[in-house]
Amino acid sequence: MQTVVEQIYRDMERRISGSPPGVCPVDEALNCLNLCRAQTCGKCAPCRVGLSQLADMLTQVLDGEPDEAILDRLERTARVIVATADCAIGIDAAQLVLTGLRGFREDFEEHVRHHRCLSTLHNPVPCVAMCPAGVDIPGYVALVREGRYADAVRLIRKDNPFPTACAYICEHPCEARCRRKMVDDAINIRGLKRAAVDNSGLVPHPKPAPATGKTVAVVGGGPGGLTAAYYLALMGHKVTVYEKRKQLGGMMRYGIPAYRFPREIMDGEIKGILSLGIDVKTGVDVGGEVTFDELREQYDALYIAIGAHTDKKVGMAGEGAKNVISAVDLLRGIGDGLLPDFTGKTVVVIGGGNVAMDVTRSALRLGAKKVTCVYRRRQQDMTAQAEEAEGAIAEGAELMTLHAPKRIEVDGDGKATALWVQPQIPGPIGSDGRPKPTDAEGEEVRLPADLILVAVGQGIESRGFTQAGVTIQRGGTLLADEDTRLPDLQGVFAGGDCVTGPATVIRAIAAGKAAAANIDEYLGFRHEITVDVKIPIPHCTDIHPCGRVNPREREAGERKGDFTCIEFGMTAQEARQESSRCLRCDHFGYGNFKGGRVEKW
Amino acid sequence: MVTITINGRAIAVEEGTTILKAAEDVGIPIPHLCYLEGINEIGACRMCVVEVEGKDRLVPACNNAVEDGMVVHTNSPRVREARRTNLLLILSQHDTSCTTCIRSGNCELQTMAADLNVHYQPYELRPERSRVDLSTPIIREAGKCIKCMRCVQVCDKIQTMNIWDLVGTGSRTTVNSRGAHSLADTDCTFCGQCVTHCPVGALTARNDTQKVMEYLADPEITTVVQVAPAVRAAWAEEFGLPKGTTAIGKMVAGLKILGFDYVFDTNFSADLTIMEEGSEFIHRFTHREDYSWPMFTSCCPGWVRFLKGQFPAYTDNLSTAKSPQQMFGAVAKSYFAEKIGVDPHKMRVVSIMPCSAKKAECTYEPFRDACGDPDVDVVLTTREMARIFKADRILPDKLPDWEFDSPLGTGTGAAVIFGATGGVMDAALRSAYYLVTGKNPDADAFTPVRGNKPWKEAVFEIPGAGKVRVAVVSSLGATRKLMEALDRGDAEYDFVEVMACPGGCAGGGGQPIHEGAELASDRGSLLWELDANMPLRFSHENPDVLALYKEYLEKPLGEKSHHLLHTDHHAWSMPNQL
């Protein structure tokens, strides 16, 4: 019997993680509370009786016509249970209700006052809803299933001109709420996109709309800037991209190492985008030799997508030593083909994000004898994707978690020789759900180092824009509204990392897409972006649990010696099976009723 | 073509056909509740599930295409069990007070329950609480809603108004007005297409019959009733009279027997509308620079609400002429009251309309031009008229044929076609031609504006005036397309007729409801037939309209006409109007 119950628990865990976005939080709170009620032992009054009363009150809020005082009664009851229940079963359950009352009070009030819910399913297809660019994922997965790879690429390009980049390096937020999790596991969506781009051959781009005579300058040639440039060019506007560095690609080139995204493949994709007739000026610093105001005069509209390319400092003694290098500088050099030789060196990396993993793994490839990544929290608290950390470990990197960097030891020549770190103990959980580390009892540890690499975050170079009247917020980001408009400057738009702070390629692409639509409208047009790909009709098939095909990688010992791509694409067999796991939420469930497919934007 | 086997019969069907259509075509109907062909094929009710050999789960027939070699069973034990269980589940959320439900006897759910022999309900009944708001002409009783989503789809896909939506999430998901706490706060046009496509009694046009019964009971009150053109093409359906019956005389007799003092015809004021609107068009056409173009008809209240709510910048393009209903009320409580020596404050004007939006129109503040009281007091739909007949056991086939009363009971062929899409345009062109040239055109000279295409356009030459570019649209979806085309500058017209309901008033939201049948086209044909057989086919030849001008109004667009028959469309507001 217990094994069956354990099975049900595992199923529920998967189910909760596959919960569709947009569900009523009050309803969710009630149903979580009901699960808690089953766990009460029945001894102490607040837990045994109180949890039932909380559930009754929540039901009243959802179904009845209670007076507004019910919310106070709920809060008081929950507070008392937290304060007086005898064990965690009651305390934690009531805490859940309190957290809800504080976190989504307006939802409670709407139910009490208007018997309605603020929540609605804006997009019922979980993967599409979770994709910042709203790519038609069930559509291209179905096309991959039929072997129509080129059509899959064309369909993706309707919403995202970088199918290849995203096939290699997207963080795939689309998979987070995949409904297939309720059955077995999320679809490997990124892997299927990779299957599409690997097998599609060269897919020609659509012809741009007739020329409008309008000109747009895009400042920044990263994924966001090039996305805006691409769609604006498709709409018939004349676009010029200004890029400060030698080459286009932004963080895809100057942040992401080639072993994750091969350069020749990136160059091919960018070349295709530029083939729409986009002008490019590389090596031009807007705010330096060209001023922002000059661009405003020359062009009908402006899109600022300068990214976040400056490094942040740890702020400790010895950081100025010459063999202490920022991750941003190292990766930028590698991006332009400058590969330093670390042969025989002992390297210490500070940081726990994806960039820290990128420099850790790059340092190994540059010949380092030993690379130790120092992080003050636990491994599961790293912001780096789990597979990045695991990959680094497999390639021989040391992960030294729960150690906080304290100071850098510098010799008489001003050269760093070691990093001193203090052991940490995970403390109370913070608002981000991660325990805050504090100094543990015990001695500082000395890590000898020939080279120290610092990867603790990036900032935005906004100097040239501040004086031109662009509002810079605390934290250094540019102030733009949700539609990418700058509030005080007519015809100027901004988006991507420089507005949100360092984020992901797909979010930059989404911002570029939104900016293109808004700039088009600002210029007096309402061009529509659409594609004539017919999506296969879904098969009415039974659903049987089936394993997810995960990406396979080159052997760690072999791959750590070069910058060649580490990940293999799926085989045709794998792609067929994986794509057939898709539940086609664009058709089944809410999808064929409303919002299953956005055919144009 | 693919070959499939349904219930042991091998059949060849077109690829892409749904299982439901394929089965129906060979005489194997599959039960369904939510299905609405081409509009709502979403598999919500799961009544149409069938067993397909080789599949573990049952398959909804409405939205799954046939596949070659498929073997389908529509009545296997598993299908029977599933259909019945799902019906019981739907019923457990349905307020089954059938005896007091307006759709009793014409309810898909009731029929289904009877057909499937549902007698005992094992599930606890948990209908959603209904919070009924009687301030709007369209009433939603949440407890009766079976969440088939047809209303949402009809409003989105046919009318493009997106008024209804799913609200809430989880098991409490229900249908309600989108983005507003009540229907009254939305831009709803009250066209009533959601009502005529609701399979149950969740959406109804407000029942105003008791107000009428109170008037009829009051000896102090003079009751005047007008019947709209499209009503005669449909009312007999409610009594199972043979298809194509208009039985106008019996309808008049029924209303008389109910106790109305005067039974009149909205055709009279339709002719009057043509005199005013036709003259207005000629005036605008000959003073082009003073007006923005095109001129729009103003007789459909759903359309007027649409325009004011969705494209308010075009409000001045509406003809200032009131709708026939409102013209009738204004004339009844002035000219006619005077004529028969009755205090208009003691007169009540009732309209029988194929329409739910008319119930809103008669309440607009400005429509009190005759004596300060509302010009029209109550509007009943075609369905409501049938209900008050039935209450009194008035059986049409047993009734004599009586004539409309005089003088507001006379109408021409040009008036009766107001009930079909293109009819107002046709009638207006007939008289405009006469007003310019002094000669009648052939009454059938304007046929390109007839027929059931949602968007028709034509150009006619009126000697002395020039080329007139006209367009006729019906359904708000087609209307929105036309408005957007005008907005973009992709279309240019002089005169545009708009009807909110597909097919015009013949398919109105107040007309009889028949599951799975769209009768606008058939009813429209009946009206065109009536026109063809009328002795008078030009509004300007209606003798009683001419007498009205002679005795009272003097001339079209004159001072009295201006006061009684025209309106300022800015004088009332839509809920969200700034």
Residue A17 has pLDDT above 90, yes or no: no
Q: What's residue A317's pLDDT? A: 84
B170–A114 CB contact, under 8 Å? no
Residue B542 has pLDDT above 90, yes or no: yes
Q: What's residue B482's pLDDT? A: 97
**Residues of chain A with C-beta less than 8 angstroms from the C-beta of B64:** 540
A 104-123 residues with CB < 8 A to B:
114-117, 119-121
Q: What's residue A122's pLDDT? A: 66
Write out the H or E segment, with its range, that includes residue A327: helix A327-335
Query: Is residue B453 helix, strand or coil?
Result: coil
B54 interfacial to chain A (CB closer than 8 Å)? no
A343 interfacial to chain B (CB closer than 8 Å)? no
A240–chain B nearest CA distance, Å: 29
A49–chain B nearest CA distance, Å: 26
B172–A62 CB contact, under 8 Å? yes
Q: Which residue in A599, A598, A597, A567 sits closest to A193, CA to CA?
A: A567
Q: What's residue A115's pLDDT? A: 83
Percent of chain A topping pLDDT 90: 69
Of A24, A114, A593, the CB nearest to B42: A593
Interface with chain B: mutation pick from A26, A62, A116, A542, highest number of B CBs within 10 Å: A116
Q: What's residue A123's pLDDT? A: 67
Q: What's residue B37's pLDDT? A: 92
A598 contacts A581 by C-beta, under 8 angstroms = no
B167–A594 CB contact, under 8 Å? no
SS3 string, B77-144, reads: HHHHHHHHHHHHHHHHCCCCCHHHCCCCCCCHHHHHHHHCCCCCCCCCCCCCCCCCCCCCCEEECHHH
Q: What are the DSSP E strand ranges found in A393-490?
A: 398-400, 403-410, 416-429, 435-439, 445-448, 451-454, 458-459
CA B15 to chain centre: 36
**Residues of chain A with C-beta less than 8 angstroms from the C-beta of B43:** 592
Residue range A109-148, pLDDT digits in tens: 989 988 888 876 666 899 999 999 999 999 999 999 999 9
CA A109 to chain centre: 32
Query: Is residue A388 helix, strand or coil?
Result: helix
A542–chain B nearest CA distance, Å: 6
B287 interfacial to chain A (CB closer than 8 Å)? no
C-alpha distances (whole Å) from A128 to each of A134, A137, A281, A431, A573 are 5, 6, 34, 28, 25
- Counting other chains too, the contacts that A540-546 makes at CB distance below 8 Å and 24 or more residues apart are A540/B52, A540/B55, A540/B59, A540/B64, A541/A580, A541/B55, A542/B55, A542/B56, A542/B57, A543/A183, A543/A583, A545/A183, A545/A184, A546/A184, A546/A577, A546/A581
B42–A22 CB contact, under 8 Å? no
Q: Which residue in A161, A168, A164 sits closest to A278, CA to CA?
A: A161
How is residue A522 written in tokens?
């600002």
Q: What's residue B362's pLDDT? A: 97
Q: Which residue in A170, A204, A208 sits closest to A189, CA to CA?
A: A170
Q: Which residues pair with A303 in a beta bridge?
A: A218, A493
A540–B16 CB contact, under 8 Å? no
Of A65, A540, A594, the CB nearest to B55: A540
B165 interfacial to chain A (CB closer than 8 Å)? yes
Q: Which residue in A277, A269, A266 sits closest to A234, CA to CA?
A: A277
Q: What's residue B353's pLDDT? A: 98
Residue range A140-197, pLDDT digits in tens: 999 999 999 999 999 999 999 999 999 999 999 999 999 999 999 999 999 999 999 9
B18 interfacial to chain A (CB closer than 8 Å)? no
Residue B185 has pLDDT above 80, yes or no: yes
A591-595: average pLDDT: 82
Residue B168 has pLDDT above 90, yes or no: no
SS3 string, A300-311, reads: CEEEECCCCCEE
Residue range A498-525, pLDDT digits in tens: 888 888 999 999 999 999 999 999 999 9
Residue range B401-454, pLDDT digits in tens: 999 998 999 999 999 999 999 999 999 999 999 999 999 999 999 999 999 899
Q: Produce one character per residue of B235-271: b if its CB has 16 or more CB atoms within 10 Å, e if not.
A: bbbbbeeeeebbbbebbbbbbbebebbbbbbbbbbbb
Residue in chain A closest to B151 (alpha carbons) equals A593
Q: What's residue A23's pLDDT? A: 83
B43–A592 CB contact, under 8 Å? yes
**Sole residue written with tokens 């149903």:** A31
A592–B65 CB contact, under 8 Å? no
Q: Determine how many CB atoms are found less than 10 A away from the CB of residue A541.
A: 13
How is residue B458 written in tokens?
């034509």
Q: Determine how many CB atoms are found less than 10 A away from the CB of residue A154.
A: 22
B147–chain A nearest CA distance, Å: 12
Interface with chain A: mutation pick from B20, B40, B42, highest number of A CBs within 10 Å: B42
Q: Which structural domains are found in chain B, ordered by start?
A: 2-90 (3.10.20.740), 124-205 (3.30.70.20), 210-577 (3.40.50.1780)
Dist. CA B147–CA A584, nearest whole Å: 22
Spatial neighbors of B166 by CB under 8 A, at least 6 apart, are A120, A121, A594, B149, B152, B173, B174, B175
Average pLDDT, chain A: 91
**Residues of chain A with C-beta less than 8 angstroms from the C-beta of B52:** 540
A308-319: average pLDDT: 83
Residue A467 has pLDDT above 80, yes or no: no
A542–B59 CB contact, under 8 Å? no
Interface with chain A: mutation pick from B59, B72, B172, B185, highest number of A CBs within 10 Å: B172
